[in-house]
C-alpha cells in the first residue's frame, strides 16, 4: 500500500512539474531576437550596434513632455530587431524614457517575427501591422499608439497621446 501511495505521489509530482514548464522569454535565431526582450539585451548584443549609435546621438526634447503624465502610463513596444524603423525609433524612445526616469517596470518590449507575429505568444489582439508600434496605456486602457515613424517629433507625438489622460 505504501508503494502505491509513493507511486501515485511521484506520478502527480511528475505531472505538475511538466505543466509548469514555461517558454523562455526570448529566443535568438541568428541574427535576430524574438520574444520579450530588454534594453540590456539589445544594447549589449554585438549584432545590434545600431542601438547605442542611435541612443547616443539622439538629443531628446523632454521639455515637450509632461513627465508626471508619462509616469502614469505603461508602454508596450512591438519591434523587429530586423526592422530599420525599429532600429531608429526604439533607441530614441529609450533615450527619452531614460532621460525622464520613466519606471522600466512600466515598459514591455516584444521582438516580433518578420510577419509581425509573436514567437511564443499571440499578440493579434493588438493589431500590429508595422514595426515599431509603441502602445501607451493608462489604467489598463490604450490611449494611443505611435506606428513606425511619428508625425512630427517623437516627443510631440508622445505628449499628444499623454494629453488624453
Would you tell me how many other CB atoms lie within 10 Å of the CB of residue 70?
23
Note the pLDDT of residue 3.
59
Among 56, 148, 58, 158, residue whose Cα is nearest residue 102? 158
Q: For the chain, how far is it from start to end, CA to CA, in angstroms?
A: 65
pLDDT digit string (tens) for 108-160?
A: 999 999 999 999 999 999 999 999 999 999 999 999 999 999 999 999 999 99
* Three cell numbers, residue 20: 509548469
Residue showing cell 526582450: 37
With respect to residue 153, please indicate whether it lies within any of the assigned structural domains.
yes
pTM: 0.85
Report the domain count for the chain.
1
With respect to residue 9, please indicate whether it lies within any of the assigned structural domains.
no
pLDDT digit string (tens) for 28-75?
A: 998 999 999 999 999 999 999 999 999 999 999 999 999 999 999 999
Note the pLDDT of residue 9.
46
Three-state DSSP state, 100: helix
With respect to residue 44, please indicate whether it lies within any of the assigned structural domains.
yes
Show the domain range for 39.
Answer: 23-162
Note the pLDDT of residue 56.
97
Note the pLDDT of residue 2.
55
With respect to residue 111, please indicate whether it lies within any of the assigned structural domains.
yes
Note the pLDDT of residue 162.
97
With respect to residue 10, please indicate whether it lies within any of the assigned structural domains.
no
With respect to residue 5, please indicate whether it lies within any of the assigned structural domains.
no
pLDDT confidence band for 94 (50 / 70 / 90)? very high
Distance between CA atoms of residues 26 and 142, nearest Å: 25
Note the pLDDT of residue 24.
74
pLDDT at 77 over 50: yes
Note the pLDDT of residue 142.
98
With respect to residue 8, please indicate whether it lies within any of the assigned structural domains.
no
Domain of 145: which CATH number? 3.40.30.10
With respect to residue 36, please indicate whether it lies within any of the assigned structural domains.
yes
Selected residue with higher pLDDT from 14 and 104:
104
Amino acid at each position: 500500500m505504501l508503494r502505491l501511495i509513493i507511486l501515485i505521489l511521484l506520478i502527480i509530482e511528475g505531472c505538475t512539474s511538466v505543466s509548469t514548464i514555461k517558454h523562455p522569454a526570448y529566443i535568438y535565431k541568428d541574427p535576430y531576437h524574438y520574444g520579450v526582450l530588454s534594453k540590456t539585451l539589445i544594447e549589449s548584443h554585438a549584432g545590434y550596434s545600431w542601438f547605442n549609435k542611435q541612443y547616443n546621438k539622439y538629443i531628446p526634447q523632454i521639455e515637450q513632455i509632461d513627465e508626471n503624465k508619462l509616469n502614469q502610463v505603461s508602454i508596450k513596444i512591438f519591434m523587429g530587431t530586423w526592422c530599420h524603423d525599429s532600429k531608429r525609433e526604439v533607441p530614441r524612445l529609450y533615450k527619452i524614457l531614460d532621460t525622464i526616469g520613466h519606471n522600466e517596470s512600466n515598459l514591455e518590449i516584444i521582438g516580433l517575427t518578420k510577419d509581425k507575429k509573436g514567437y511564443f505568444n499571440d499578440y493579434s489582439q493588438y493589431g500590429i501591422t508595422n514595426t515599431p508600434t509603441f502602445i501607451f496605456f493608462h489604467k489598463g486602457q490604450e490611449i494611443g499608439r505611435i506606428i513606425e515613424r511619428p508625425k512630427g517629433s517623437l516627443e510631440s507625438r508622445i505628449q499628444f497621446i499623454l494629453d488624453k489622460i
